[in-house]
Amino acid sequence: MISQSRTRVTLAVAGICLAAAGACGQISSVNSAVIVPRVSNDYPGATGTYINDYPASMTLGESGEYGSSGFANRDEWLFSNNGSTPYSLEATDYFTVSMTLTLTGPTTVDNEAGFIIPNANGEFPDSDLQFDADTDGGFLGSSGGNGSWNSRLTYTPGALVTMGMKYFYDSANSANAIQFWVNAGGGNLYSPVEDLQIGETLAGDSLGAYYQLQGTTSSPGSSGQAVFGDISISQTPEPSTLALLVLGVLPLARLLRRHA
């Protein structure tokens, strides 16, 4: 009888966990990354460097950017769950993502790299959401999306920083939200919570990182590189899922102890 009771409890717990996993979306299926070179290709004669060693590191670089016109070359890498196409976020794909970034190159032209969520479904009123470092001025913060955040930290070329981003449900304001954090050696510094408009999600968007380098009008042009390391992405349960686990698993656990 005790064995049968334990079996029933185990099956019930498994059912609750499976239901919870389904409610969280499929971000947990992400297992790789794909490189998308030359999203912007103002200097087609430049030489690109693209190294995919996910999750240990991803490298994007450009060298020899010069010409009479144009602004910049831009490369991206995006999370994937099949190794060949970018992963498309679902409505309830709440996540926490982090990586290290080392950016090298010129300080006199736009030279930037960091996280990106391309504005594929138009939910952002401004432009792509970017959380980046820029050697031109030493900026370290976010832009685009639903707002901007300046960490007030100064980025120095060649420095290693750890950057993180969390997408979650902000229960207090009944909206999906994003928060950034950065660590340049002095502990984590967090941005204010950035709420999306009520009802808006990241469904249909991709998630990853980018490198952008501005060219020059004369040879040898500009050259630089971004190395992204220690890449991690995990699923963040939505509030209803957490409630399901608390309300379902704890009573079953008590039942198991009673039959032990």
- Ramachandran quadrant class, 138 (left: phi over 0; alpha: psi -120 to 50; beta: rest): left
Q: Which of 168, 190, 167 is nearest to 180 (CA)?
A: 190
Could you read off the pLDDT of 144-198 as tens digits, one per residue?
988 899 999 999 999 999 999 999 999 999 999 999 999 999 999 999 999 998 8
Q: Find out whether 225 and 158 touch, Cβ atoms under 8 Å.
A: no
Environment class of 68 (CB within 10 Å of its CB; exposed 0-12, middle 13-18, buried 19+): exposed
Question: Which helix H or strand E contains 70, and what residues bound it?
Answer: none
**pLDDT of res. 22:** 43
Q: Which of 210, 209, 218, 217 is nearest to 73 (CA)?
A: 210
What would the mean pLDDT of 72-84 be, rounded to a whole number?
Answer: 98
Could you read off the pLDDT of 98-143 as tens digits, one per residue?
999 999 999 999 999 999 999 887 878 778 999 999 999 999 999 9
Q: Find out whether 222 and 110 touch, Cβ atoms under 8 Å.
A: no
Helix 2-23, helix 239-259: angle, nearest 10: 170
Strand ranges inside 149-190, DSSP E: 149-150, 160-170, 175-183, 189-190
Which residue type sits at 26? Answer: Q
What six digits make up the tokens of 184? 């340049």
Could you read off the pLDDT of 16-57 as tens digits, one per residue?
444 444 444 589 999 999 999 999 999 999 999 999 999 999
Q: What is the 8-class DSSP label of residue 23?
A: H
**pLDDT of res. 257:** 57
Alpha carbons 87 and 256: distance in angstroms, whole number: 40
Q: Find out whether 69 and 23 touch, Cβ atoms under 8 Å.
A: no
**pLDDT of res. 25:** 55
Give 96's pLDDT tier (boundaries 50, 70, 90): very high
End-to-end Cα distance, the chain = 11
Q: Which pTM was predicted?
A: 0.84
Which residue type sits at 100? Answer: T
**pLDDT of res. 152:** 96
